[in-house]
Amino acid sequence: MYVSESGKTAKKIISNREQQLFLSSKINKLSLSIKDTHLEACISQLYQELQRAGITFKPKTYLSDEWGCPNKVPIIGIPFYLASPKLSYIIGQLTNIEISSDEEIMMLLRHEAGHTVNYAYHLYRKPKWNLLFGKFSQPYKSNYTPIPFSTEFVSHVSGWYAQRHPDDDFAETFAVWLTPNSKWKQQYANTPALAKLFYVDQMIQKYGQQPPDITDGKLDKPIQKITLTLDEWIKKRKSTT
């Protein structure tokens, strides 16, 4: 298990009594917010990276039960527990969830930003998108068997995640393209993945300064609607993994 610096700090200050209070509290009553946390700084960095890359669109963010964007909605969901060092510590201790460092959070934000750009400009509807990445309409499988080190795909977050679904292939490709100093042209030279990276580059040149087709939509599991206690949420999470 990885515990971030904030998690290590929490270990020093959280008591057993306080942990029990957290566990017995409903998640939507924990008064969690992105504002004034390290997440706010990470999101600000993402916006700066998007702007430097020629993208005026700044996707909204919200606290949810896990990382992800709602289906075809360009808004980034961030795990609620990352908004609190104490919660991060509890989750890290009582589940198999790895608590990310800020560097890892940035990697995940860039991935999710790829989804938002895809949805905001409806790139997944374009014939060339489907030719390069695969059919967007294909089923999204929870389990997949990747081919390690395949040159058909970029490598960004762990688990060869680009191979999970065409939507994730695009998001991972976008994340590599967006990452400062990634030197993607050199890193992926003479590989099939390079054509995907150039496609992202071309799409941003074409659409990056344009207003998005959509910016909003129905959220998936916002924290305000998570009525489980933290203990119930942890037990439910364990039963499904």
Residue 56, C-beta contacts closer than 8 angstroms, at least 6 positions apart: 50, 208, 209, 210, 211
4 pLDDT more than 50: no
Phi, psi angle pair for 166, to nearest 5°: -55, -35
Closest CA to 208 of 58, 70, 72: 58
Q: 38 or 100: which carries more pLDDT confidence?
A: 38
Closest CA to 49 of 100, 106, 105: 106
Instruction: For residue 132, give the amino acid letter.
Output: L
Closest CA to 153 of 165, 141, 136: 165
Mean pLDDT of 155-167: 95
Least confident of 90-104, 118-132, 174-188: 90-104
* pLDDT for position 238: 86
Q: How confident is the model at residue 96 (pLDDT cuts 50, 70, 90)?
A: confident
10 pLDDT more than 90: no
Residue 173, C-beta contacts closer than 8 angstroms, at least 6 positions apart: 114, 133, 153, 154, 162, 193, 196, 197, 199, 200
Condensed to tens digits (0 to 9), the pLDDT of residues 55-87 reads 999 999 999 999 999 999 999 999 999 999 999
d(CA 128, CA 70): 24
Q: What is the helix (H) or strand (E) element at residue 76, kind and residue range?
A: strand 75-79
d(CA 103, CA 42): 9
Mean pLDDT of 135-154: 93
Condensed to tens digits (0 to 9), the pLDDT of residues 101-144 reads 999 999 999 999 999 999 999 999 999 999 999 999 999 887 88
Question: How high is the mean pLDDT of the chain?
Answer: 93
What is the crossing angle of helices 85-94 and 16-24, to 10°? 90
pTM of this prediction exceeds 0.85: yes
Listed by start position, the domains of the chain span 1-101+217-236, 122-207
Work out the percent of the chain whose per-residue pLDDT is above 90.
87
Instruction: For residue 184, give the amino acid letter.
Output: W
